[in-house]
Amino acid sequence: MDSPILRALFSDIVLQPQSGKAVYLQLAEAIIDLIKRGRIPPGGRLPSSRDLAGILRLNRLTITKAFQELEMQGWLEGRVGRGTFVGSNLPELRAQRLSREGVTEGGKHQAGFEIQDTAYLRHGVDPVTTRLHLDDGFPDPSLAPLKELYRAYRAQLDRGDLYGRFGSYGHAKGSERFLDSLTRYLNLTRGLNITVRNVLSVRGTVMGINLVCNGLIQRGDIVVTGVPGWRRAEANFQHAGAQLLGVPIDRDGIQVDVLERLCRTTKVRLVYVTPHHHYPTTVSLPMDRRLELLRLAGKYGFIIFEDDYDYDFHYKHKPLLPLASADDGGMVIYCGSFSKTFSPAFRLGYLVASENAIAHLASVRILLDRQGDHILERAMAELLDDGTIQRSLRKAVAVYRERRDYFCGLLAEELGSGVQFDIPEGGLTVWTHFDRGLDLARLAAETRKKGLYLSDGAAHRYPTYDAHAIRLGFASSTKDALEESVGVLKEVLKIRL
């Protein structure tokens, strides 16, 4: 070998014969890395297979296979009687532009291009990793019909005509069987008057919101949400370029009189509401405000996005029917999911709207997701048709009502004046106010040290709103776990953080 520099470069290559990957492929990747980093320029000559075999203590056949692989990929070119060279048509890559800075053993951690950072995207994920949890209102998966779902899903795979059902893409709107079953279910339980042409299957509420943002919101549009509200929905509207305006929430939900004053001076494109149990406060929008909201939508021409994330969980009386059930003008886009019926990991939901709106959103959906999981959708259709979902919900509601009552009793008896709350008529959480002298971030940190998860309330604070409150979810815990959780909370509160 003529060049001591090349000898040094190739001497630094480390191969791992026990890794499971062919050694010649490892060598090929190492040579590509040298070329990418500009250590060997286009047209540069490589050591002969004999010399390289000596340096790396490999069989010449291994070296030859690596060279042949790289020639086929276009990285190298062999010249008869002269040797092997880096492809002359490759662009010259300078080492300083493709340096190893920012690259770790586990991969690249710093992009070479600019990424615009925005505050609304820094929501992150706060997974529950502790044994005890007073979460954001998650269901108890042990109450879900998981065995029935498993049997229904497996049955879809065992039936004949696999190509007819799974051999090609289906409709972006969803499985016809699922849409048909879901339509009947929603008409029966929500008082809707719809056909399958009014329904679109989505992978949960967030996807439904995102589709509406992509398909119906343009940059600069005005979107109104309640304050406080759901940050994940707000982030979607902001990412779509909408201007976000807030309307206050009181004990009866969004203040429609304030909304009307806003509409008189501002062209509102969409109003996002959670009328059944407002997020995060859990209050229900009364009938007079519901009817007024529908009237305002017709008068001022704005879309109502009705996020009905926990319609099935109401304890005092039958829940008020959705806004969509009284919508005669086609102004409401109704969104729901089965995440609370099963678990947050179960991603299957739906949008309900006018036929032309659904057709448009289905076309937009193809840009993001060609179609949903039609096997899962057909399995869900079976559970809707045979009454499994309805029976499971009746059982879950009874259990959650009992847990709510027990939990609220514990809060009142054990924490006393340390907390203030109203017993929620429905939903899976208690909106709980704490003394303003208490640091909620420190409270959350200290309870986690003792094995209890709860929120620090930061997501519910706004420049114009701070109730110093957090959502304490009771549904996902047994009575024993709730008692233990309140015990931990009581112990930490005694320290007066």
What pLDDT shows up at residue 99? 44
Give the C-alpha distances (Å, rounded to integers) separating 271 from 247, 252, 300, 304. 10, 17, 11, 5
Nearest in space to 142 (alpha carbons), one of 458, 477, 373: 477
- Give the C-alpha separation, 171 to 211, whole Å: 16
Count of C-beta atoms within a 10 Å radius of residue 301 = 13
Q: What is the DSSP string of 136-166?
A: SS---GGGS-HHHHHHHHHHHHHSS-HHHHH
Place of tokens 């040290």: 449
pLDDT tens across the length of the chain (497 residues): 456 777 778 888 888 888 888 999 999 999 998 888 888 888 888 888 888 988 888 999 999 999 999 998 889 998 888 889 998 888 776 654 444 444 555 556 777 788 887 887 776 667 888 999 999 999 999 999 989 989 998 888 877 666 666 655 667 788 899 999 999 999 999 999 999 999 999 988 999 999 999 999 999 999 999 999 999 999 999 999 999 999 999 999 999 999 999 999 999 999 999 999 999 999 999 999 999 999 999 999 999 999 998 888 999 878 889 999 999 999 999 999 998 888 777 789 999 999 999 999 999 999 888 777 888 888 999 999 999 999 999 999 999 999 999 999 999 999 988 899 999 999 999 999 999 999 999 999 999 999 999 999 999 999 999 999 999 999 999 999 999 999 999 999 986 64
Supply 470's token pair: 């957090």
Give the C-alpha distances (Å, rounded to integers) separating 437 from 71, 427, 433, 446. 70, 28, 12, 16
Q: How many angstroms separate the most distant Cα atoms in the chain?
A: 92
Burial of 1 (0-12, 13-18, 19+ CB in 10 A): middle
- Give the C-alpha separation, 471 to 430, whole Å: 6
Domains defined along the chain, listed by start: 4-108 (1.10.10.10), 132-138+394-494 (3.90.1150.10), 144-162+169-390 (3.40.640.10)
What pLDDT shows up at residue 161? 64
Please give the radius of gyration of the chain, using alpha carbons only, rounded to the nearest integer: 30
What pLDDT shows up at residue 245? 97
Nearest in space to 400 (alpha carbons), one of 188, 138, 129: 138
Q: Which residues, 6 or more positions from 19, have their beta carbon under 8 angstroms from its beta carbon?
A: 26
Give the C-alpha distances (Å, rounded to integers) separating 10 from 33, 90, 416. 11, 20, 73
